Amino acid sequence: MISKILVIPSIDIQDGKTVRVVRGIPELGSAEYGSDPVEMAMIWRAENAKTIHVVDFNFSHEHKHTNSELIKRMCEAVVIPVILGGGIRNLDDAKFAFDLGVARVVIGTTAFEMPREFIKILDEFSPNKVVAAIDVIDDEVVTRGRQTRTHLQATSYAKFLKSCGATRIVVTDVTTNGMLSGPNIDLSRRVAEAAETKVTHSGGIGGVDDLMKLQLEAHEFVDSVIVGRALYENKFSCQKIWRVAEAGIFN
């Protein structure tokens, strides 16, 4: 039996608006999708999403709480878990996020630059609520909004995160993110094997064929996938995809 992969819609927020940025880097250009993020969260919930992944670009790049009240309203508007990433640098940032109502936080740069602080956050809230992020360009881990190269291979970093206590990793091939160019399945496989855990895949899903490919070829090491642009640009019916998955037709 092929296990089902959870489809997680992504809502990227900048200046209070839903946006889609090129390769996850605002400086490379972004497109507004014309919807209030709270309304967008309610739409994905109505479309049968089981959880939502939110990235706060203002907090990530400016460390300002520009969108905090908005994120709080998003959490209050839906009855499904909201995962929040972007700019969480220390224990206080994580506490602030959980106080807004989010179910999980995603931590990237802090885990690399301040591993002791990352471990402190893991210990305070448990690995079930704290997700590590690995952003990769040409098999090299990048940090600080995907703009700083670390000269560290993804698999080596995955082993390090495991040693810190992380049990959930979001893996993103930055070159495919938002490009609809197909998923880098090999990267997710190698990270999952190095960390000895299933991972959340992010980047490259351009439509139903890519989702099916991920389901068929990666289900042994990927248990969830974050999808953004393909959903917003109607590359497939998200509601249909979720219903098919729930019915077990992928099996």
Both tokens assigned to 225: 């996938």
Query: Which residues participate in catalysis according to the annotation?
Result: 12, 135
Q: Give the helix/strand (H/E) hosting 239.
A: helix 238-247
What does the alpha-carbon distance between residue 189 and residue 97 come to, in Å, rounded to a whole number? 30
Please name the residue that has the structure tokens 């990793």.
169
- Cα separation, 54 vs 85, in Å, equals 6
- Among residues 234, 214, 235, which one has the least CA distance to residue 224? 214
Short-list 197, 199, 191, CA closest to 225: 199
Place of tokens 């967008």: 40
Query: At a CB cut-off of 8 Å and minimum separation 6, what does 69 contact?
Result: none
Q: Supply angle C-alpha 197, 198, 201, rounded to 5.
A: 135
